[in-house]
């Protein structure tokens, strides 16, 4: 796959290394040459020092042959404009923009971009670990609006039903693993020591589930 | 007219002040605290809407939906582009005008981002300066928006080739027409029998190609290109 990455900060450099290790043809553009020092020596792609939005630069980077473009600078409006140009002028099939400052997220939404809020996402992970040590997020859907959590059932809940644990909380139990075997969980199932429960929940649901697991009511 | 301006820098603030004085209904959006402090001293407070103009909530707060014109005059070209796009796409603003800060981005200012009119500040200044440098004392008063014509003014030098000759005797370049002659305190209508005098200020409509020829007629003799027989 031909991939163009716009912006060679920490996110851009990490992404470039990962994609190049998987054998993709990667081109990184940054308007400041010294940014390329973020790149790992193992990176095997091209670098172009140029203003990405100046006329002809994206074409020089091979955008007409690119299957994907990621714009990950630390300027949200620049990411929005680059993504829009990639989609509408050059018809790149897969375009992803980074949302750097959460206050600018609304712009990316208004422009209909596929964007990843790395700052908000990182803060949310840390918040979860601080607030709900018993819930471990193992999968994020969208930008983390719904996540799949792994829950080690605590001693205090042994002998009680799954339904009692989740009743009234916006979440859906998806599997119960006992002795290494997973099954679809029925609500009346009685929890036992060592059970691992997988449950999808919104941020609000996860918060309430975490508090109920700790013994406080939610 | 209801005009919404994004960006309270030098251009945006001056424009807001001018349009407000002409009784237009102006609203100005700005979010940088240092700039806000400045424009609060220059503009009536009710014109100023605090918030990031690229945040749809700020646009709604400033009632973008009833604006007839949006002017994007922020210092970031990417912000001006994305704002024009949202204004047209989401709020159906009928007309958008954007300033271009960096001429390298000029190619993006157009229908792709719903920019109806782009004002390339650096380009305008550069071409004005270039004209001042290249053609004697000829001054460009107005560049017509379509085509390559300009309204220029030139003061006749004492030894200019046109001095002492009647208008009908002068061979003007094909794409040049004299519009008026300012002589002392009068305006002289340029008819065929009017004779040019040194010190006349001539207003002419001229295209780029003819400007140099016109300068050779009106400018000091030294500036006009030497005639073939004088090259020995």
Residue of A54, A81, A89 lying closest to B81 (CB–CB): A81
At residue B139 the predicted structure's pLDDT band, cuts being 50, 70 and 90, is: confident
Percent with pLDDT over 90 in chain A: 71
> What are the CA-CA distances from residue A122 to residues A70, A96, A117, B130 (Å)?
19, 18, 8, 52
Q: What average pLDDT does range B118-127 have in this prediction?
A: 85
In this prediction, residue B227 carries a pLDDT of: 45
Q: What average pLDDT does range B129-150 have in this prediction?
A: 74
Q: Which of A13-22, A109-118, A122-131, A162-171 has the lowest mean pLDDT?
A: A122-131
Q: Would an 8 Å CB–CB cutoff place A88 in contact with chain B?
A: yes
In this prediction, residue A18 carries a pLDDT of: 96
Distance CA A33, CA B67 (A): 42
> What are the CA-CA distances from residue B27 to residues A113, B46, B47, B63, B72 (Å)?
29, 8, 5, 9, 12
Q: Which residue of B has its CA nearest to A51?
A: B104
Q: What is the mean pLDDT of chain A?
A: 92
Q: Is pLDDT above 90 for B185?
A: no
Q: Do B113 and A84 touch (CB under 8 A)?
A: yes
Return the number of CB contacts < 8 Å for A and B.
Answer: 58
Helix, strand, coil content of chain A in percent (nearest 5): 35, 30, 35
Residue of B54, B106, B108 lying closest to A107 (CB–CB): B54
**In B, which residues are within 8 Å of A110 by CB distance?**
56, 86, 89-90
Q: Would an 8 Å CB–CB cutoff place A50 in contact with chain B?
A: no
At residue B222 the predicted structure's pLDDT band, cuts being 50, 70 and 90, is: low
Determine the residue among A73, A75, A106, A108 to mutate to test chain B binding: the one whose Cβ has the most chain B Cβ atoms within 10 Å.
A106
pLDDT digits (tens, 9 = 90+) for B81-114: 999 999 999 999 999 999 999 999 999 999 999 9
In this prediction, residue B34 carries a pLDDT of: 94
Q: What is the mean pLDDT of chain B?
A: 88
């Amino acid at each position: 796959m031909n991939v163009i990455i716009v912006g060679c900060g920490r996110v851009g450099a990490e992404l470039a290394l990962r994609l190049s290790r998987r054998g993709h043809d990667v081109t990184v553009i940054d308007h400041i040459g010294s940014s390329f020092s973020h790149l790992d020596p193992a990176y095997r792609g091209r670098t172009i020092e140029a203003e990405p939005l100046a006329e002809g630069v994206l074409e020089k980077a091979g955008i007409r042959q690119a299957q994907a473009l990621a714009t990950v600078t630390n300027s949200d409006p620049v990411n929005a404009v680059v993504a829009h140009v990639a989609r509408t002028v050059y018809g790149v099939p897969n375009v992803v923009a980074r949302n750097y400052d959460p206050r600018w997220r609304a712009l990316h939404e208004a422009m209909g971009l596929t964007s990843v809020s790395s700052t908000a996402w990182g803060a949310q992970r840390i918040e979860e670990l601080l607030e709900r040590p018993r819930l471990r997020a193992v999968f994020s859907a969208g930008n983390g609006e719904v996540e799949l959590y792994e829950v080690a059932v605590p001693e205090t809940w042994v002998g009680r039903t799954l339904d009692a644990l989740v009743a009234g909380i916006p979440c859906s139990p998806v599997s119960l693993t006992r002795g290494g075997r997973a099954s679809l969980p029925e609500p009346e199932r009685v929890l036992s020591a060592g059970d691992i429960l997988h449950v999808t929940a919104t941020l609000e649901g996860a918060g309430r589930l975490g508090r109920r697991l700790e013994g406080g009511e939610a | 007219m209801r005009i919404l301006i994004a960006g309270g820098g030098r251009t945006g603030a001056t424009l807001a002040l001018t349009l407000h004085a002409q009784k237009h209904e102006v609203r100005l959006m700005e979010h940088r605290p240092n700039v806000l402090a400045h424009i609060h001293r220059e503009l009536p407070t009710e014109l100023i809407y605090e918030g990031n103009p690229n945040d749809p909530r700020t646009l709604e707060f400033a009632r973008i939906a009833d604006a007839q014109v949006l002017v994007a005059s922020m210092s970031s070209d990417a912000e001006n582009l994305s704002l024009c796009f949202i204004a047209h796409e989401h709020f159906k603003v009928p007309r958008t005008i954007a300033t271009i800060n960096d001429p390298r981005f000029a190619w993006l200012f157009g229908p792709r981002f719903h920019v109806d009119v782009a004002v390339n500040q650096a380009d305008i200044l550069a071409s004005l300066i270039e004209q001042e440098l290249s053609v004697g004392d000829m001054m460009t008063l107005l560049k017509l928006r379509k085509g390559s014509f300009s309204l220029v003014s030139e003061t006749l030098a004492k030894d200019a080739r046109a001095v002492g000759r009647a208008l009908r005797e002068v061979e003007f370049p094909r794409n040049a027409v004299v519009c008026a002659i300012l002589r002392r305190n009068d305006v002289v209508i340029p008819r065929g029998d009017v004779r040019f005098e040194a010190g006349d200020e001539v207003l002419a409509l001229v295209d780029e190609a003819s400007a140099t020829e016109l300068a050779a007629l009106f400018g000091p003799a030294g500036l006009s290109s030497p005639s073939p027989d004088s090259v020995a």
